[in-house]
Amino acid sequence: MEAYKRWVRRNRDYVHSLESLANGLTWLLPERFSESEIGPEAVTSILGIFTTVNEHILDTTPTQPQTGRVESSSLPFSLCITLLKDLETLVEVAAQQFYGEEKKWNFIAITESVKVLLRLAILRNSGYKMLLHGGESINDKSNSDDVDSHRNGLLSNSGQQGVSGFLKNHPGQDPWNLEGRALSALTRFGENARTVAEPTWLRRVQHQQGIMEPPTPVAGTPSLSTFLTEKGIPGGLCLTGEVMFILRPLIYVLLIRKYGAQSWFPWLTSLAIDLVGNGIISFLTTLRHNSKDFHLSNLEKNELKRRKLLWALYLMRDPFFAKYTRQRLDATQKLLEPVPIIGLLTEKLVELLVGAQTRYTYMSGS
């Protein structure tokens, strides 16, 4: 495994190119959306797992030489979620083939239940921060806020007079770029000078101390009661909105399992949960935008935008798709069919959309 990790890290660009080519070709596999063929989905899942593992290897590339510490062998919850999402379509297709259309929802519900448990664990371990990409990305809000405050402090405190004078004498230019370049150059010069000045024996002693000294203890995550005490009712409402976002796919699947995919009740209930959950977080953060407790980082703002974009998937979910979207797609295909090349591409695109719509996991947004 270690040899494979070294190979992936040395051939980063080659690995990315090979993965992109392989994943693109899977859409051209024959019987991709056949109800009785699980081979193409198995190939897609295996390629997805390899891609996820390779990305994890690249993301965990050590930035410093190894100091005798062994990498943790446990899988993070975020990686488990990504691997589960790579397998869920294969689970759906296999369940449909061996157990039928109705009973496949039992297996999909189990898959969504596992994802809910993993996301709730991530939410707890992160100190009840907003989940990014459904928990697949780490919400390191504190570090991003520290960077922003450090930059703002440099501009407002140490460089206030220099910046104002610079703007008067050089209008239209950005002093942060020049100041940042100067600080970076001084930092590199100081590091190089220190490395040259330190004798070899001193660097060896420091290296040994880095091996023997225990890692700095990490502050524990707050309990739910502590979080609610500190944040109050608004914090509890924001947490409620986040939990609604986590539970929404499971509730949607359970309702489909009971009422059927062509019923409007699961569709409307899922949409209502999305609107209310996202609306609570958006309303509170807008209402208290000057409050430090409800400040959203750029990553969290992008996450809210991403969740709103996912609402477009409701156009591709039954019964809305069967009653409205499918008719629009067929009308567009007939309109562009006489146009050379464009008509052929439109036909292939509509075929892919209709085929993907038959898979819950492609349109779940979870």
Residue spans per domain, the chain: 73-138+222-363
DSSP code per residue over 237-275: HHHHHHHHHHHHHHHHHHHHHHH-TT-HHHHHHHHHHHH
Instruction: Write down the pTM of the prediction.
Output: 0.71
Q: Are the CB atoms for 105 and 114 separated by under 8 Å?
A: no
In the Cβ-directed half-sphere of 75, how many Cα atoms lie within 13 Å? 13
pLDDT for the residue numbered 273: 96
- Cα four-point dihedral sign 64, 69, 73, 75: negative
DSSP H/E element including 90: helix 77-99
- Helix, strand or coil, per DSSP, at residue 331: helix
Block means of pLDDT (10 residues each) for the chain, 366 residues, are 70 69 63 60 77 77 52 72 90 90 94 96 91 87 50 42 44 45 48 46 46 49 81 85 95 96 96 94 75 73 93 95 94 91 91 89 90
pLDDT for the residue numbered 38: 76
Q: Are the CB atoms for 362 and 108 separated by under 8 Å?
A: no
pLDDT for the residue numbered 3: 77
pLDDT for the residue numbered 53: 78
Closest CA to 305 of 296, 314, 316: 296
pLDDT for the residue numbered 304: 92
Round to whole Å and give the CA distance between 153 and 195: 29
